[in-house]
Each structure stands twice: as C-alpha cells, then as structure tokens.
A and B are shown apart, each in its own frame.
Chain A
Amino acid sequence: MSSTWNYIFRRVLYLIPVLLGVCFLIFFLFNVVAGDPTGILLGKHATASQMAELREQLGLNKPLIAQYFDVVKSAFTFDFGRSWATKQQISQMIAQGAIPSLSVTLPGFFLATVVSILLATIVAYFRGKGIDLFIRILTIAMMSISSLVYIMVFQWLFAFELGWFEISGFEYSFPEVMPYITLPIIIWIVLSLGPDTRFYRTLILDEMYQDYVRTARAKGVSEKKILLKHVLRNAMIPIITYTVVQLPFLLLGSILLESFFSIPGLGNMVINALNASDFPVLKAITVLSAVAYIVFTLVQDILYTVVDPRVKLK
C-alpha cells in the first residue's frame, strides 16, 4: 500500500511541471499572441491616454515574466482576478456557474452510463438474436439524428405543447429546480445512449471470447452468471478508461443545452466571455480544465488498482 501512496505523491508532484507548461501556453496565447486588448475593450473612439490608463489598470504594463507569474499563481490559488466584462470575482462566477452546469451534466452522465452499460449487457447476452439486432439498429438510428432535432422537438413537445417541464431558466433551490433540468438531462441521456451502448457492447463482447469464459462454461457456470460476474468485472477496466476522462468536461457543462435552455452554467459563461473578449474568464476556465484533467487521470490510475489486481502503482 505504501507504494501506492508513493505513487500518488509522485503524481501530485508531476502536477507542478505540467501546470507550469500549461500556464506558459495560456500566457503565450493570451498575453503575447493576442496582443493589446485595450482597443477591443474601449472601442474605436478611445484616446491614447485612456488606453494607457486601462493597460496600467489591467497589469499589462508589467514585465512579461511577472505576467506569466500571475498566471501560474492563479493555477494554484484559484484566484483569477476580476472579469473585464462583469467586473465580478471570477472564482465567484465559476462557483456560481458550476452548480447549474453540474446539476445537468452529473445526473445525465451518471444515468447515461448506467443505462447504456445495462443495455449493452442485455444486448451481449442476446448477441446475434432479434433483440440484439433491434437495439443495434435503434442505436444507429438514434445516432443518425442531429442533437439539435432532439433539443427542439423535445422542448416543443414536452415543454411547450404538453407543459410537463419549464421551457427555459433555472432555480438555485431543490426541488424547484427539477422542472428546469429534467428535460436537458433526458436529452443528454438520449444523446449519449447510442454511441455508449454500442461502445460498451463491443467491450463486453470482446471479453466474451476470452479463454477464461470458456473455462467458466466448462465449469458449468450459467451464461447469466458468466456475464454478470466474470465478464463485467473484466470489462470494467476499459469502461473506467472511457468514463473517467470524461468527468472533467462535465464541469464545463453542455454549451448547447445551456444556451437552448438558458441555464446560467459555465458553458454559457464561456460563450459570453468569448463574445466579450473577456480574457481573464477564458484563462481561468482553461487553467481549471487542465487541472481537472490531470487530477482525473490520477483518479483513473487509482481506480485501475481497485478493479484489476494486475495493476500495481509503483
């Protein structure tokens, strides 16, 4: 066990050079390549003295090395300063946007994963039979329809015509929030179900042809138990590879769903920041996703040791 702790400690140390590199790229993009933002912020009729004043205010007169250091500092303190557009504390904006984003993406992702693994297992059990063919055709059909069609049809039918859900908006309290997020969650699941079921089906079927399955059959173990006990446990290894790296992106939310349902999440915030050339917000989001990504790959490695006894972290 101590070697696992050593490994985790070492991986956390590796975070430092990776973050320094990521910060450099961000700094290079926003502070060097992007050029002077004061023109954009003040508009066409700005005077030279106004621009100089703003530059001073935004810290753009500092030497480049100091500007780089500011970016690095923000990656560790999560203090990203204030937004140019809204003048709010960015860390506060993120904290506020994360709630609506995650309240859609987390349940959506979790339910979609569970349902598609379940479907894939059923399909694998009946492989080659009618139900397998039916679900495979259905998933292809589902994948062939544009996501915009689902969003617009569902919004029109379930929210507008039938009135089961709110058409758009958000509430920060539970359970008042449910009418706002249920429909986006359902759409998220519907969108993921096609590709995920097909992917998990392939993973499970790959395992079905392994030699240990033949051994289990020779022992007299029933097909159902082979699938649920022997195969699924082995299939968890690639399933973890596929799912865990998706987790950091849940934080950013779905830009598409958030804009159609007017959910004030991080996806929406990014769109607004892009439109307003709000560099600090974009910088913050980029730094944050890099950190989240690195952390979750570490989580993935640790999870491997739980499901696969062959993996030893050293």
Chain B
Amino acid sequence: MDLLSIRDLTVDFNTPEGIVRAVNGISFDVPKGKTVGLVGESGSGKSVTSLAAMGLIPNPPGKITGGQILFEGKDLVGASDEEMRKIRGNEISMIFQEPMSALNPVFKVGDQIAEVLMLHKGMNKKEAWQKAEELLHQVGIPDPKSSVQKYPHEMSGGQKQRVCIAIAIACEPKLLIADEPTTALDVTIQKQVLELMFDLQEKYKMGMLFITHDLSVIADIADDVVVMYRSNLVEKSDTKKIFTSAQHPYTKGLLACRPSLDKNPSRLLTVADFMDEQGNEIEVDPEKTKLASKPKQEHKDDDVLLEVNNLHTHFPIKGGLFGKTVDHFKAVNGVSFKVQRGKTLGLVGESGCGKTTLGRTILRLIEPTAGQVIYDGVDLTKLDKKQLREMRSRMQIIFQDPYSSLNPRMTIGETLLEPMDLHNIGANKKEKIDRAKWLMEKVGLSASQLSRYPHEFSGGQRQRICIARALAVNPDFIICDESVSALDVSVQAQVLNLLLDLQDEFGLTYIFISHDLSVVNFISDEVAVMNRGKIVELDKAFKVYHNPENDYTKSLLSAIPKGVPKELLEEGTR
C-alpha cells in the first residue's frame, strides 16, 4: 500500500465567471520513503492538488468534486475538520514557497515550533521549547540556543525556510509536502536547503511530494516525476525516464526551455515549439534546433556606450541620541566596468550583494556617493534635474515583479502612452496610439488588448507589457533587474527570446541583473560577478562560466542545479 494515493481527484472552483476545474481527474502515488516531483507551471493545478491532500482547499470557492485521497488507505476526502486537524502538521506536513511571509511576524521562532509540538505531541511548554532548540540544530541554524528567542525578521530568507522545515518535521510526519520551497532563495541557499531536505527525508524515512515549476531542481532528489499541464496529468514516470525519453510534448518543451551552462544557444526552445494550442504534438522546426547548437558570436569592436568608474553608493547607518550618522553601509563599493553598444552585460550575485543598488545608481534612481557614470560621453552624475530627465528617455529599467510594477487602475494603453507624453514622443494622440499598437505587436501581444487592465493578463504577458513600456520612449539602453525571476521557466524562455529579438532589431544595450547564473549565461556577452558591493570577476561569459578564477564565482557555479539526474551525468562522462 502506498503512503499517499491520489485517485481520479477533481477539484472545482466556483468563480464569478462560472465553474473552473483546477484539477481534472488526476491519479498518482507517493510511496513510503520516496520523493515524487510534481511539476507544472502557475495555474496548472499542482498547488491545488497539494492543498487538497492537506484538506486546505479554501471552501468556498473551492471544492473536491470527485475522487479519493488515500493516506495509508484512509480516504481524506470527506474526513471531518477535527480528523484533518490531527493529521495536519502531525502525519502530513507542508512547507510553502515564501519563507518571508510564511512565519507569523509577532511570535518568536521558538513559539512557532513549540506550538505544533504542544498541539500534537502533548508536550508542555518547557519540553516543546527544548525540542524546538534541538530541531533548529537539526536544520542547521547556528547557535540554536539564542536563535529560538529570535523573531522571524531577525533571520535571513534561508534561515526562515529552515525554520519552516523545522516546524514541518517537528512531529516526524510520514509525508512532507513541499510547495516550491526553494524558488524564492538564492542558488547557494537553494542547494543547502535541498540537501537538508534530502538528508531529513532519509533520516525520517518520509514520503515527499515536491512541487516545482522547474524540472532541474528535482532532477537529483525525485524518484518519480508527475507532470501537470492545464489541470491534467500529462505524464508520470521515473525521473531518469523523464529526462531521457519524455513522452508528452509539454514535458519535452519544459526540459528544453531551461537555459543550461554547457549549451549556448542563440534562442531558447519553448513549449510552443513542441506543442500547438490544442496540446497536439508538433514537429520541432529543425532550423531552431540547429540554431540551438550554434555558439554565440564573439564580438570585437570598441564602441563603449556606458562606462562606470569607481562608483560608490553608501547608505548612512544612524545611531546615538540625535540620529547622527555613525557608519556607512557600502552597498556599492568602488565598481568599474564598460558596456559595449548593442551588447549585454550580465550582473550576477546573491541577495544583498548590491547588484540592484548598482543598477539603480547607474540610472540615478539612487544618488551615487562617488564615482562617474559616463553614458555616451556624458557624465550622468554631473547632470542637473532637467538634463537628467532628457536623458531618461534613452535609459529604461524593467523590474522584477510584473504584478506590482503596473498601475492596476490604468489600462495598458494609458500605461504605454504616459512615458510618450512625458518625453514628447509622437506628434499627436493618433501617432502615439499607433506607436502603442505597434509596441504591443513587437512584444508579442495584440493591439486590440490596449483597452484592458493589468489584472486581465498573466505574469508573462505583464512582463511583456513592462518591456513595451520601456521601449515606448525609444531607449538605447535598458537595465533588466531580475526581469524574468518571477516567471515560470517555460514563460521565462519566451521573455528571454523576446529580449534578444528586440536587441537584434533595435540595437539595444542591456545590463541584465539576476541571481540565476544559467539565465545570465544565456543572455549575456560579458558577465560581472558581484559580492559585497564589489565586482569580483568580470569577463566574457563563457570564460567566467568555464574557467572561473575567483573562489566566490566557483562556489556560485557549483551550486547551480545540474538539471539532469546525477546518474545520467555520470553515465555521460563514462
């Protein structure tokens, strides 16, 4: 008997637009002590499936309308609230994506771990706190004795996720459900957290259901993989088979769209190259696969568009009775580099390394403390407000979160027209609207969508709108600040291809900021690695990735998920 058996599970959501089927009759098993990866994009129904197993589907509007969820043979569908409460956190526990918000901000970490132990194991407060300390030690939090007394905001993102894991394993559950547990974390932290989860699984012989949109994350840890697409289960098989001989076109597309370090294609394949709108398999255009194996051309011209000289951005740290500045936090600490016209500089580093501050300082969205930013022969740091505003139309930025960077009360048309009005682009209203329509088509959307509002678009579409907005003022330089990080891998590939197409067409120059080294490798000509406010390595992309000189770069590179199961890699080298 399997630990968890999902049989013909169907979940419907009652929405104002009618009933939406989120999960459509799917069946799969999680055997005892094994890991099953559940893969799919946003809205595929993977999270709803896991919430169903926990009995946490918000009802209303959601409802399990068919099938069974057998946990050790007992059907959880229709179990009473009381029964489910005894199982949750005790026999089945769950870890969520966002460690930043998953913990209650006003309770100490110790309280939050102890709560679950007191609830299910009948411990008193003292015992539970003692056990909490032990658990923190197990999940690798330094100095557990003082850490139990901390509040969540006093910990880093990785540490918070470790606390969430500690809560999840506190009662030694039989099944652990992890919903994108590492998506919000940096690569090195991601690697550590994955290893921790794997070790704990071995130790406690837990079954694990690991949900992700990124196949490469689970390549090493999953025994079986279940692929979901638009509420349906499209493929299930053991992990090795998925990576060697995937059957469904969606799975093939998913495997192909992730940029990898060893191949340097000029464009990424996307799911749309494998499958048409109806979900039927189509022949992959051989022209595209050919391109995909062609290495990027080496450019050797010396047309510098942007030169940054010894740039510093310091933030004051206040202290004392009257808030005197006692010290400075050196977010950007003496950075110099050049970007060639029409090329892309990739800027990688982990959270807090100063890469975002650097990007914003270049555009003077944050004022520099010292140094020069020479853009096309003009030192931006010397410009007054008016001159700077004129320059702004040439330099644009695309932010990370396509959900919050569009004004929800402005139509897409208004959003695109606003920067044109500011910079006097287009002689009259009609010309501007025509340009907006043209932009929409350039970024792969339809001109007829101009009158819609942001909430009517998906994340990938919104990021396309943000790109169109940046292009509206005819810039020649764009900073992409984690612009694809919030997107699913399949959507990410499309947006990356779009950025490259636009670069070719308009001769754009990019600074591409990201914590994802594979993405930066794919899109950049040159790569700068940042750590603690300084650039530690700067060279041609392939050189940084294949012959890194700096130790920090090496450690970053080794943390990237290989994207293929270990045994396959070993076979390959044999």
Chain A interface (Cβ < 8 Å from any Cβ of B):
6, 9-10, 128, 210-212, 214-222, 230, 233-234, 307-310, 314
Q: Please state if B88 and A220 are interface contacts (CB–CB under 8 Å).
A: yes
Kindly state whether residue B244 has any CB partner on chain A within 8 Å: no
Q: Please state if B116 and A219 are interface contacts (CB–CB under 8 Å).
A: yes
Q: Please state if A218 and B93 are interface contacts (CB–CB under 8 Å).
A: yes
Q: Please state if A216 and B60 are interface contacts (CB–CB under 8 Å).
A: no
Bound Cα distance from A221 to B320, whole angstroms: 43
B-side contacts of A217, CB under 8 Å:
56, 88
> Known interface pairs A211-B101, A230-B104, A310-B153. Does A218 touch B323 (Cβ–Cβ under 8 Å)?
no
Bound Cα distance from A210 to B164, whole angstroms: 16
A-B residue pairs in contact (CB < 8 Å), sample of 8: A10-B321, A211-B98, A212-B104, A215-B103, A220-B85, A307-B106, A309-B151, A310-B105
Bound Cα distance from A218 to B92, whole angstroms: 9
Kindly state whether residue B318 has any CB partner on chain A within 8 Å: yes
Bound Cα distance from A314 to B324, whole angstroms: 11
> In this complex, what residue of A is CB-closest to B56?
A217
**1/0 per position for B145-157, CB-CB distance to A under 8 A?**
0000001010000
Q: Please state if A234 and B88 are interface contacts (CB–CB under 8 Å).
A: no
Q: Please state if B105 and A222 are interface contacts (CB–CB under 8 Å).
A: no
Q: Please state if B151 and A310 are interface contacts (CB–CB under 8 Å).
A: yes
Bound Cα distance from A220 to B119, whole angstroms: 8
Q: Residue B88 contacts which of A210, A219, A314 (CB distance < 8 angstroms)?
A: A219
A-side contacts of B320, CB under 8 Å:
6
Q: Please state if B94 and A218 are interface contacts (CB–CB under 8 Å).
A: yes
Bound Cα distance from A218 to B116, whole angstroms: 10
Q: Residue A211 contacts which of B54, B90, B96, B119 (CB distance < 8 angstroms)?
A: B96
> Known interface pairs A211-B96, A220-B120. Does A9 touch B321 (Cβ–Cβ under 8 Å)?
yes
Bound Cα distance from A307 to B105, whole angstroms: 10
With A211-B98, A309-B105 already in contact, 17 other A-B pairs whose C-beta atoms are closer than 8 Å:
A9-B321, A10-B321, A211-B96, A212-B101, A214-B96, A215-B104, A216-B115, A219-B115, A220-B86, A220-B119, A234-B105, A309-B153, A310-B105, A310-B151, A310-B153, A314-B319, A314-B323
Q: Please state if A216 and B104 are interface contacts (CB–CB under 8 Å).
A: yes
> In this complex, what residue of A is CB-closest to B116?
A219
Distance in Å: Cβ of A11 to nearest Cβ of chain B: 12
Kindly state whether residue B167 has any CB partner on chain A within 8 Å: yes
Bound Cα distance from A211 to B323, whole angstroms: 35
Distance in Å: Cβ of A301 to nearest Cβ of chain B: 15
Bound Cα distance from A214 to B47, whole angstroms: 13
Q: Please state if A218 and B151 are interface contacts (CB–CB under 8 Å).
A: no
Most-contacted residue by chain B among A6, A9, A216 (CB, 10 A): A216
> In this complex, what residue of B is CB-closest to A310?
B153
Distance in Å: Cβ of A183 to nearest Cβ of chain B: 39
Distance in Å: Cβ of A296 to nearest Cβ of chain B: 23
> In this complex, what residue of A is CB-closest to B101?
A211
Kindly state whether residue B102 has any CB partner on chain A within 8 Å: yes
**1/0 per position for B78-119, CB-CB distance to A under 8 A?**
000000111111100110101001111111000000011001
Bound Cα distance from A16 to B365, whole angstroms: 36
> In this complex, what residue of A is CB-closest to B318?
A314
B-side contacts of A214, CB under 8 Å:
56, 96, 102
> In this complex, what residue of B is CB-closest to A222?
B85
Q: Please state if A234 and B104 are interface contacts (CB–CB under 8 Å).
A: yes
Distance in Å: Cβ of B554 to nearest Cβ of chain A: 35
A-side contacts of B167, CB under 8 Å:
215, 219
Bound Cα distance from A210 to B93, whole angstroms: 18
> Known interface pairs A128-B60, A214-B96. Does A220 touch B89 (Cβ–Cβ under 8 Å)?
yes
A-side contacts of B151, CB under 8 Å:
309-310
> Known interface pairs A220-B119, A310-B153, A314-B319. Does A215 touch B102 (Cβ–Cβ under 8 Å)?
yes
Distance in Å: Cβ of A233 to nearest Cβ of chain B: 5
A-side contacts of B153, CB under 8 Å:
309-310
Bound Cα distance from A85 to B105, whole angstroms: 56
> Known interface pairs A220-B120, A309-B151. Does A215 touch B106 (Cβ–Cβ under 8 Å)?
no
Q: Please state if A218 and B115 are interface contacts (CB–CB under 8 Å).
A: no
Bound Cα distance from A212 to B153, whole angstroms: 13
B-side contacts of A233, CB under 8 Å:
104, 106-107
Bound Cα distance from A217 to B89, whole angstroms: 8
Bound Cα distance from A218 to B54, whole angstroms: 7
Distance in Å: Cβ of B119 to nearest Cβ of chain A: 6
B-side contacts of A210, CB under 8 Å:
101
> In this complex, what residue of B is CB-closest to A307?
B106
Bound Cα distance from A218 to B112, whole angstroms: 12
Q: Please state if A218 and B101 are interface contacts (CB–CB under 8 Å).
A: no
> In this complex, what residue of A is CB-closest to B103?
A212
Bound Cα distance from A307 to B151, whole angstroms: 13
> In this complex, what residue of A is CB-closest to B55?
A217
B-side contacts of A230, CB under 8 Å:
104, 107
> In this complex, what residue of A is CB-closest to B61?
A128
A-side contacts of B98, CB under 8 Å:
211
Bound Cα distance from A216 to B93, whole angstroms: 11
> Known interface pairs A128-B60, A220-B86. Does A215 touch B321 (Cβ–Cβ under 8 Å)?
no
